[in-house]
Amino acid sequence: MTKIDLPQYDYDVVIIGGGPAGYTAGIYAARAALKTLLVEGAGTISQITITDMIENYPGIPDGIGGFELMQLFKNQALKFGLEVLPKDVTAIKKISDTPVIWEVTAGDKTMKTLSIIAATGAMWRSLGVPGEAEFAGKGVSYCATCDGPFYRNRDVVVVGGGDTAIQEALFLTHFAKKVTVIHRRDRLRAAGMLQNRAFAEKKIEFAWNATVEEITGSEFVTGVKVKDVQTGSIKEIAAEGAFIFVGRLPYTDIFKGLVNMDKTGFIITDEELRTKAPGIFAAGDCRAKLFRQVITAAGDGANAVHSAELYIDDVKGRTY
């Protein structure tokens, strides 16, 4: 096929986000000899870096700290020649339609690119109560799949009443001695099937009409103070772990108006991780999906690059 003359551009692909999805995409893009820039963000950090221990990443049976694992990702990407820019992206706009060229502004730099991979991640919605930030990684967790095995034969609490909260509470019963679900209403929002399973589980108890006022402890969590929303009374529930599931917030504001999002702001893609915008792909926790783990984010990153490479070849007139 005849090679197409393209307008001037700087990169084949710009990856936005420095977490597992972003750096996996960087590894695959650099190895594919695509001219690639990863903008890892200066004002935001990947949630994995504040995870104390990851025990379920394949090939690392003894576990590894989240920060250390991300350094391995990054070092491997740099080894393959990935260019990294530690800036926050402030604007994305389309500057050409035929072919599509995107302009990405990060700090004082502006780059033109044929494609973009959104790997901006998400953060757990916090309660904003005393003790929550202080005990993050020391009893406060936002991932039962990640941290549940550390709480064998211990009492824990789960905050929330939706599908995720109840799914994670059920998962925690495999390890914990007792799981107390704290919910601000007198009934759950979770799907009926999940509710039935939770009510039938002997290890799960419920603190209804209750909101968390404080997470207490010394070096680690020892309890949670809750307020009865009807009477205003305060009591403390003894627990060595507090798992908080009151929703996630994706870092996707810079993509508003460019791609389709669900009601929470997660980017909607097809199975090839393509968005509605030509040349924009999404990977990892910023994408609308059911399961969010390091391994699934990494898989998204690899798949997004594969789709981007096919797209770029098509734009350049190199499709087989």
Catalytic residues: 143, 146-147
Question: Cα–Cα–Cα angle for 140, 24, 265, nearest 5°?
Answer: 60
Sequence length of the chain is 320
Q: Is 222 helix (H, G, I), strand (E, B) or coil?
A: strand
49 to 25, 254, 267: CA distances (angstroms): 18, 23, 23
Helix axes 192-200, 163-172, angle to 10 degrees: 30
Count of other CB atoms within 10 angstroms of residue 285:
27
Report long-range pairs for 132-138 (Cβ below 8 Å, ≥24 apart): 132/215, 132/242, 132/244, 134/215, 135/215, 135/217, 135/220, 135/221, 135/242, 136/50, 137/50, 137/51, 137/52, 138/52, 138/217, 138/219, 138/220, 138/221
CB 152 within 8 A of CB 255: no
